[in-house]
Amino acid sequence: MARVPSDRILASVDVGTTKICVLIAQQLDDHRVEILGVGKSPSDGLEKGVVVDIGKTVRSISSAIKEAELMANVSIESASVGVSGAHISSLNSHGVVPVRRNEVGQQDVANALAAARAIVIPEGQQILHVLPQYFTIDGRERVHDPLGMSGVRLEVQAHIIMGAIASVQNLIKCCEASGIMVHDIVLEQLASADAVLSTDERRLGVGVLDIGGGTSDFAIYQNGSIRYTKVLPVAGNHFTNDLAIGLRTTLASAERAKKEHGYVVDHLPDDAPESIEIDRVQGSEQQIVKTTELLKILKPRAVELLDLVYDEIAFNHLSSFISVGMVLTGGGSLLCGMSTLSNDILQLPTRIGRPHTDFALPTLLQSPMYATGYGLLLHTLNKRRDKRMSSLDGPLAQRIFNRMKLWVLDFF
């Protein structure tokens, strides 16, 4: 395989409960990537986003990596990895620091975030993200970028996301055993939001629900920053299990019936057949079931999931943050009627979120199923850009400024 410089190659690993997705891309500029390879394999060894069998998980990840490398004709050494699961928790924290030299610099912002980070961490947990929501200088109005502003006291309100040390380390161990180093662990709903939300939605206020296989990840954005995150325990596998039990069929047949003929609204789609043929649970015989039976089984589970979202919004008084509406993404959002049902239960305009860019994506990646994987690439791209920009506040920028100053003095 061709060896490509690591500074132009990005890779992501979406380790889900039902599938492993690996994306390899080439960085075009600070805002765009070109997809080179896509690898996908069934996920074995995970339950609700948590590794329960390292050997099976390693084989699944390795298979997806090899497929992506073969398509891209490059080998990857590191990747960003998505994390989710019931072990994820979050809270808001406040940090205050004095401003050096009466003008806010990059180090002052870092110090404020470090102060917000200084919280009591529950035993067995570690901090994954410290995300600034807003800053204030000398107690005045809120700002989102305080750099260069004058003042003596800088405050920050930050959203802190934590995860179980053991779960995160097991995930990293599986990736490293598959031959890649993990350079970043990213909460999956943050990655999905990067892929499917517009700038205006983030600014005005929007909720995003990523319905995966093992868990559903809920997040709220407003004024361009994260406001709330929550991992919900109901997801795609629950729909499949309900069908398998209710129709007395195999899990594989239930999954196929869900994807091809499942719906959660009371009116049948125009092209829906009145009945379908599925396997019996023994797998040796076929049975005929009415498609209305799928509705009776799938709709209550969909209502349960959306009721959980409704309760989170109501209990935490979050409705004022969601002025634009809800965006559903992930494989579970493809279930026919989910957006309509969400609109009815949450009383919010709802759309299906698909990865969006300023240029054409491969047809395969235009599905909500790949929102997390593509969002992980964008997260890495943004992090590289921010790191490069922040370096301009350091010694290099000072040397450039001094040279320009001397040049001006000499000229005049």
Q: What is the pLDDT of residue 322?
A: 94
Q: What is the pLDDT of residue 17?
A: 87
Distance between CA atoms of 19 and 21, rounded to whole angstroms? 6
CB atoms within 10 A of CB 27: 18
Dihedral (C-alpha) 364, 52, 333, 360: value to the nearest 10 degrees?
-20
What's the token pair of residue 20?
Answer: 């492993």
Q: Locate the DSSP E strands across 28-139.
A: 33-42, 46-47, 50-51, 78-83, 89-98, 125-137
What's the token pair of residue 122?
Answer: 């529950």
Q: What is the pLDDT of residue 257?
A: 93
Distance between CA atoms of 210 and 161, rounded to whole angstroms? 17
Q: What is the pLDDT of residue 400?
A: 45
Distance between CA atoms of 178 and 33, rounded to whole angstroms? 24
The list of the chain residues with pLDDT below 50 reads 1-2, 395-402, 404-412
Task: Identify the CA nearest to 217 among candidates 199, 233, 206, 194.
Answer: 233
Q: What is the pLDDT of residue 410?
A: 44
Q: What is the pLDDT of residue 178?
A: 94
Distance between CA atoms of 164 and 171, rounded to whole angstroms? 11
Q: Are 161 and 131 in contact (CB under 8 A)?
A: yes
> Domains in the chain and their CATH numbers?
1-88+163-197+356-407 (3.30.420.40), 89-162 (3.30.1490.110), 199-355 (3.30.420.40)
Most distant CA pair in the chain, distance: 93
What's the token pair of residue 365?
Answer: 């990646």
List pLDDT tens digits, range 193-211: 999 999 999 999 999 999 9
Q: What is the pLDDT of residue 358?
A: 57
What's the token pair of residue 309?
Answer: 């979202």
> How distant, in Å, are the alpha carbons of 190, 212, 225, 282 from that of 219?
8, 14, 11, 41
In the chain, the percentage of residues whose pLDDT exceeds 90 is: 65
Residue type, 67: E
> How distant, in Å, are the alpha carbons of 82, 118, 239, 312 from that of 276?
37, 57, 18, 37
Phi and psi torsions of 159, nearest 5° = -100, 120
Q: What angle do CA 111, 84, 216 make, to 5 degrees?
A: 120
Q: What is the pLDDT of residue 373?
A: 92
